[in-house]
């Protein structure tokens, strides 16, 4: 470090400039450490971020032998990362992630920045600060003579130091390395807990989606096409409305849920119900966009490795077959009514890639994170009226999703309306007794579920009274986490759902017109919902949905837990290698 101290042999003004620059750089570096790596949420994340910042700073220091320059580059780099993450979280609802380098360097990003003065100001500040600080830091911070590379001792010292710093940086970034617990966090935690360095650096391994490999002994003799015979439906093609219910499951699966508040009409079968059962999903506590992906494409994000979590970015542009395209081929107009910002996790672009004709952004209609199901219904009602007026003879496929059931479920019970204003599960069974925390979360959940049930009744009345035959399906995208406490509640789910009872929600399919009950099973995988809708609407299936329907029937509603592994391997070989449903990355 003495070699990097300000050289007193330099001329007076130059020595003063060098001392001032190094002092400024040190203050900036300390401030960055306090505000970025030490502000991460968990201790392991703080240690991980410090290791990344420290090793990268050492790389710069040994490579340049310029103290001020190295400290300022690290300060600007990680300061900009944290600031960009905060701004992106504010405007686009996700922090800066490594896939952004791949998916956000385009003209659409520039258009987004142009719409927000704050983003323009930040971008301009970054462009100005970088040369304003780094150019004088480089010029004024001269390399001490003893550390210049023309001297063998300096070359050996800096070379060995650089290799050691690079080794430390590399080891820190290995998912199975010393900071393994910082990797593979649940996606929802990654984008909400404000550990900006950890979120960004650990997401580098999640940028490439890999198609499942072909089994070694695949059976290509299995037939995956069908002679289609549509069920009896009205002469007029029915409208089809699919509603994703955020964080929603049938509370009757909870052993403790025997109180009247658990008996909600949305989970019951009635005279309009044609199909319904527990639903097997592929996420828990968050990741709604993966359930959207499963509905729209008939694919499970978990097939594609960690990058599947980024399906709206990594997979949506590559999928050849989709539910919207199947409806469009039958003459439908396909629209999405989003409950929040279309910028969230690339939703607007993803829905265009899925094949939707129209995407209604929730923020353009006053919807957001605090909107209730009744708010969504009000917007849906207006859009539905406009669409049926503008397209009176064209059938509609409409997808929408609620948001109010999203966590946290922590409104104090006394602030909820009766009968949810007191603990509902006090001492319901032992062990374990449902404690105050679970009573709080379940009380909130059931109160919001009651609002959802009323909204669905209003939705059904609206659609049934329209004079247009309609298929209506609603389903839960995943269970809420209750900060992990959901795992502690004993549940009873069908054996067909497999070992993981946290991946079970529900679905119901109704029609306004007479129709025989559809074939159902003890549980249905979410990837089959699309083919169920096509069956109910009497819409011809393309090659993918023919295969999807056959697998649904042959595996009795299961997918990844299908007992016939030979059948599942043949199906994957057919859709990925014969149909080439997922195109290679460009």
Q: What is the pLDDT along the chain (586 residues), one digit of tens a residue?
A: 445 555 555 566 777 888 888 899 899 999 999 999 999 999 999 999 999 999 999 999 999 988 989 999 999 999 989 988 887 776 555 677 777 776 556 555 565 566 557 667 777 777 787 788 888 878 888 777 778 877 888 889 989 999 999 999 999 999 888 998 888 776 556 666 789 999 888 887 666 778 888 888 899 999 999 986 655 455 679 999 999 999 999 999 999 999 999 999 999 999 999 999 999 999 888 889 999 999 999 999 989 877 787 899 889 999 999 999 999 999 999 999 999 888 887 899 999 999 999 999 999 999 988 899 999 999 999 999 999 999 999 999 999 999 999 888 999 999 999 999 999 988 655 545 688 999 999 999 999 999 999 999 999 999 999 999 999 999 999 999 888 888 888 899 998 887 789 999 999 999 999 999 999 999 999 999 999 999 999 999 999 999 999 999 999 999 999 999 999 999 999 999 999 999 987 5
- What pLDDT was estimated at residue 485? 86
CA-CA distance, 548 to 557, in Å (whole number)?
10
**Neighbouring-strand partners of residue 475:** 244, 507
Domain boundaries, the chain: 2-206, 239-284+318-578
- What pLDDT was estimated at residue 370? 87
- Left if phi > 0, otherwise alpha if psi is -120 to 50, otherwise beta: which for 70? alpha
For residue 334, the surrounding DSSP H or E stretch is strand 333-337
Closest CA to 387 of 415, 367, 361, 358: 358
- What pLDDT was estimated at residue 1? 47
CA-CA distance, 124 to 31, in Å (whole number)?
22
- Tell whether the torsion through CA atoms of 352, 354, 358 and 359 is positive or negative: negative
Name the CATH topology of 239-284+318-578. Alkaline Phosphatase, subunit A (3.40.720)
Composition of the chain by helix, strand, coil, percent to 5:
55, 10, 35
- Left if phi > 0, otherwise alpha if psi is -120 to 50, otherwise beta: which for 556? left
CA-CA distance, 324 to 317, in Å (whole number)?
14
- What pLDDT was estimated at residue 141? 81
- What pLDDT was estimated at residue 476? 98
- What pLDDT was estimated at residue 31? 95
- What pLDDT was estimated at residue 462? 98
């Amino acid at each position: 470090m003495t070699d990097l101290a300000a050289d007193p042999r330099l001329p007076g003004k130059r020595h003063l400039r060098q001392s001032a620059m190094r002092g400024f750089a040190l203050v900036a570096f300390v401030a960055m450490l306090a505000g970025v790596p030490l502000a991460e949420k968990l201790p392991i994340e703080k240690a991980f971020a410090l290791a990344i910042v420290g090793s990268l700073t050492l790389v710069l220091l040994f490579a340049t032998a310029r103290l001020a320059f190295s400290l300022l580059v690290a300060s600007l780099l990680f300061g900009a990362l944290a600031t960009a993450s905060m701004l992106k979280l504010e405007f686009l609802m996700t922090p800066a992630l490594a896939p952004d380098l791949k998916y956000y360097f385009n003209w659409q990003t520039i258009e987004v920045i142009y719409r927000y003065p704050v983003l323009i100001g930040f971008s301009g500040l970054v462009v100005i600060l970088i040369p304003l600080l780094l150019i004088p830091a480089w010029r004024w911070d001269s390399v001490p003579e003893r550390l210049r590379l023309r001297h063998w001792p300096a070359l050996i010292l800096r070379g060995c130091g650089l290799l050691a710093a690079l080794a430390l940086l590399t080891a820190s970034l290995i998912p199975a390395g010393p900071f393994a617990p910082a990797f593979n966090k649940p996606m929802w935690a990654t984008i909400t807990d404000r550990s900006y360095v950890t979120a960004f650096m650990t997401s580098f391994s999640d940028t490439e989606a890999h198609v499942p490999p072909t089994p070694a002994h695949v059976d290509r003799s299995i037939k995956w096409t069908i002679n289609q015979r549509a069920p009896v439906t009205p002469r007029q093609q029915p409208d089809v409305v699919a509603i994703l219910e955020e964080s929603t499951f049938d509370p009757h699966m909870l052993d403790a849920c025997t109180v009247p508040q658990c008996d909600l009409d949305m989970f019951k079968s009635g005279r309009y119900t044609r199909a319904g059962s527990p639903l097997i999903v592929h996420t828990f506590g968050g990741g709604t966009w993966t359930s959207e992906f499963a509905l729209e494409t008939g694919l499970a994000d978990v097939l594609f490795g960690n990058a599947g979590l980024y399906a709206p970015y990594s997979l949506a542009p590559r999928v050849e077959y989709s539910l919207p395209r199947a409806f469009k081929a039958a003459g439908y107009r396909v629209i999405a009514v989003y409950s929040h910002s279309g910028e969230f996790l690339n939703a607007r672009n993803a829905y265009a890639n899925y094949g939707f004709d129209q995407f209604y952004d929730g923020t353009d209609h006053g919807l957001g994170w605090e909107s209730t199901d009744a708010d969504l219904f009000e917007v849906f009602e207006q859009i539905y009226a406009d669409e049926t007026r503008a397209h009176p003879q064209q059938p509609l496929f409409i997808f929408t999703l609620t948001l109010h059931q999203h966590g946290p479920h922590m409104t104090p019970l006394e602030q909820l309306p009766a009968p949810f204003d007191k603990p509902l599960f006090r001492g319901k069974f032992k062990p374990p007794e449902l404690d105050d925390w679970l009573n709080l979360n379940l009380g909130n959940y059931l109160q919001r579920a009651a609002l959802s049930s009323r909204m669905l009744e209003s939705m059904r009345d609206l659609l049934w009274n329209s004079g247009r035959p309609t298929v209506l399906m609603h389903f839960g995208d995943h269970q809420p986490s209750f900060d992990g406490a959901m795992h502690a509640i004993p549940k009873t789910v069908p054996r067909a759902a497999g070992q993981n009872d946290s991946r079970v929600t529900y679905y119901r399919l109704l029609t306004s017109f007479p129709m025989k009950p559809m074939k159902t099973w003890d549980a249905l995988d979410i990837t089959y919902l699309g083919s169920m809708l096509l069956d109910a609407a009497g819409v011809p299936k393309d090659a993918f949905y023919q295969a999807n329907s056959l697998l649904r029937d042959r595996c009795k509603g299961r997918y990844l837990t299908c007992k016939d592994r030979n059948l599942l391997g043949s199906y994957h070989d057919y859709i990925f290698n014969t149909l080439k449903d997922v195109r290679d990355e460009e």
